[in-house]
Structure 1
């Protein structure tokens, strides 16, 4: 294995990051990496992931970086070193599928298993890089175990805290009521459990999460106290570890990948020509895909609502259900019926950040992935929740609790109606209650804009302190043994 590592002086603190194999997780880790090296000149980052994910990270970093002539220090991003980890070879999971992006849902477990089987590769990386600290994702306790075998401290980095606190409550206090009634586990979400195999899978995931808490010196969360204070404190109490927020960690809109610039310009020009607060932006991220019957109801709801809309619809790279052609035909039919003045359907990339802050956007219909929720909060745009699985239904409940959105009613696996979709859109765009939601969303965005953003300096201090204490303990043990 060959890993290129830039030269570092003895005072440099080296951090190895290992996110889950999702672009959403990778981007969250990358943004934390950029903030840490901006905060401390002596911190360097080794960012470890599969080649297919690092491909996009290189684009974001504008790799390779160049030093600025005005400073003796290298450009900050030159202290982010990309390290490839290679998963075991598999015909079922070729290298271009070593990411959840466009991955069919039935292969997620296969990907997770393959990642866990890359422990030998990760052990070699640890021995070559020899980091002072590992920052790992919640599904990879095996990475923290390998790190601790080498006296390297480990810290787990999560997204939202409310879901982590609820799932941990269910694991550590089964049968007891969650102390915050606005948040609950319910079967009224699309991905409800269907049988014993699902129960077993969920329990296995929760066991990995609990082990991650145990192996972590403290917990980092992409959150801030203005929205999750009580959940941050409760999680800390549950697991007996300090939970340190990072703040929203939203990249500067000017530093976000532009994708296809001509396509982006076309979308923004279309949006410019609509009326103020009249457009609904519909996006479910790049890793969750709607079955045909659900897309049919969503399309019906958008048409029924009478609102203008931009719908970003994506499909997995491997079409196992044979319905992709039908779905694309459905989208084509919707676009034809409503006409180009009212509806814009996109099946590739869209400039989400720029769309969310546009004056003509009226609502964001989202699956409630945490990054999308945070971006919606910062934009001050009312949200309409149509969550799918895992943390998304809980994120949707938090959004409703904060008064910045509404949730489309669901009753089991994909059981929602076009009428409910239309009613939720009309509630946000046309009713007094929708105006209250809009005001709440704008007020929260103002809070976010006026924040002091002092979490990263605090986190950097805690990282430095942890590494210093661990090194001192290791040296003490060595000296005792030597004597």
Structure 2
């Protein structure tokens, strides 16, 4: 059931996210930012995915959500298989049914935009770049404009198009001839989904939005604008996550136990280990990771959980046993979190000095915002290329295992070496210094700890202009 929007404003916004946590999160943050300009925002999706977005959002003022109109549409039921920990490819194929289910949103979203266009001078649709099928009819509707939102790095977007074009020479790109082949980053099932979306390239959008910053990716944003955006206007409005995390007060019942534990540790002494919501490790990888963390003798917080299912509220969750006696042995050096963790607050804590990450773009942006260097262990999709950006271009991280050896299990020795280098070496200290410098530059580009306000103001001025 969609909430009725009663605003008589001259403009209305419709957000169309892909139903995966990182994508839901980014467009919900953007919804909050747009609504702060007193523009009504309509956020669409299935009932389960909207509940998922609301439940898990971090760093967004709860009062902001009350200013967003959520439109919950029903789609036919579909099987929500469990993640396969033993799959050779780490891509979350089990989420593909939920991606295809979004095709049923085409009609309801079209009807919503039609209704909004009656009461508003302009309807602006901001759609995830992987939701082109759903919004394909909207550019033909009266007083409607569509803008593509890129939920991955500009480096990823640029390098994908650059590879498709045969890797032509552009200044600055000669350093990245060894980037992972895009064919290796996604399975065939996803390429088919992508081909369905790409048939609408060039037919939909009036401009490009990036959850990025020119401080981080100026070269690649400029290359995109020059080579591949075909004259479209471009806005780098990131980081969408807050750059100043608002912690729960100490002693609060709502404060996560990991933060209380961090309060007792020395500055930059803890490595945070988390692989996002789409990664499932097999039993052997979990064992090797556990042993490697223990043998490193470094303090750690490890978020130990499986990938999301298509329905994150499903009750049957795989429980993997750690080595016998492990938690007792590491109780002085680490803690294990088996549920949702407050990643923003953990990364912002002064005791956190490193982040072992899959290099999803949300995690990269959050880590850079708070000046935390990365031990990169990419799994699939944009992650291998994001790890290249982090380790080779920005030089604020290191690789746990080279992507060229992706068919090998990460060993405890690889984990131990990466953790020791990042947390207890001169090389790691230099990465931490560069990460801190980048964080300071990012924070100078934002206002009140949130978003590049100059770029955001420019986008708002553009969509509210009188034609």
Q: TM-score range by the shorter chain?
A: 0.7 to 0.9
Residue of 322, 334, 344 corresponding to 2:326:
334
Whether the aligned pair in 2 keeps the contact of 1:278 and 1:362 (CA below 8 Å) is: yes
Residue of 44, 50, 53 corresponding to 2:49:
53
Residue of 113, 130, 144 corresponding to 1:139:
130
Q: Distance in 1 between matches of 2:57 and 2:327?
A: 36
Whether the aligned pair in 2 keeps the contact of 1:406 and 1:424 (CA below 8 Å) is: yes
Q: Distance in 2 between matches of 1:202 and 1:184?
A: 23
Q: Distance in 2 between matches of 1:463 and 1:332?
A: 59
Instruction: Give the match's secondary structure for 1:132.
Output: strand
How has the CA–CA distance of structure 1 residues 359 and 234 changed in structure 2, closer, same or farther, with 3 Å as cutoff?
Answer: same
Q: Distance in 2 between matches of 1:426 and 1:61?
A: 32
Whether the aligned pair in 1 keeps the contact of 2:210 and 2:236 (CA below 8 Å) is: yes
Equivalenced residue count is 434
**RMSD in angstroms over aligned alpha carbons?**
3.4
Q: Tell me how far 1:363 sits from its aligned partner.
A: 0.8
Partner of 2:463 in structure 1?
A: 463
How has the CA–CA distance of structure 1 residues 184 and 141 changed in structure 2, closer, same or farther, with 3 Å as cutoff?
Answer: farther
Higher fraction of helix: 1
Partner of 1:444 in structure 2?
A: 438
How has the CA–CA distance of structure 1 residues 276 and 253 changed in structure 2, closer, same or farther, with 3 Å as cutoff?
Answer: closer
Whether the aligned pair in 1 keeps the contact of 2:50 and 2:72 (CA below 8 Å) is: yes
Q: Distance in 2 between matches of 1:461 and 1:406?
A: 40
TM-score (norm 2): 0.83
Residue of 382, 402, 406 corresponding to 1:412:
406
Residue of 18, 27, 32 corresponding to 2:25:
27
Whether the aligned pair in 1 keeps the contact of 2:211 and 2:237 (CA below 8 Å) is: yes
Partner of 1:354 in structure 2?
A: 345
Whether the aligned pair in 2 keeps the contact of 1:140 and 1:212 (CA below 8 Å) is: no
Instruction: Give the match's secondary structure for 1:330.
Output: coil
Q: Distance in 2 between matches of 1:185 and 1:206?
A: 25
Q: Distance in 2 between matches of 1:256 and 1:214?
A: 44
**Deviation digits for residues 70-129 of structure 1 (CA, Å, limit 9, x no counterpart):** xxxxx7655411111222223x149xxxxxxxx992322222221123323333333333
User: Is 1:205 the counterpart of 2:206 in the alignment?
Assistant: no
How has the CA–CA distance of structure 1 residues 280 and 255 changed in structure 2, closer, same or farther, with 3 Å as cutoff?
Answer: closer
Q: Tell me how far 1:306 sits from its aligned partner.
A: 1.3
Query: Which has the larger Rg?
Result: 1
Q: Distance in 2 between matches of 1:255 and 1:212?
A: 39
Residue of 213, 222, 234 corresponding to 1:224:
213
Q: Distance in 1 between matches of 2:201 and 2:246?
A: 32
- Unpaired runs of 5+ in structure 2? 82-89, 311-315, 447-451
User: Is 1:149 the counterpart of 2:129 in the alignment?
Assistant: no
Whether the aligned pair in 1 keeps the contact of 2:244 and 2:348 (CA below 8 Å) is: no
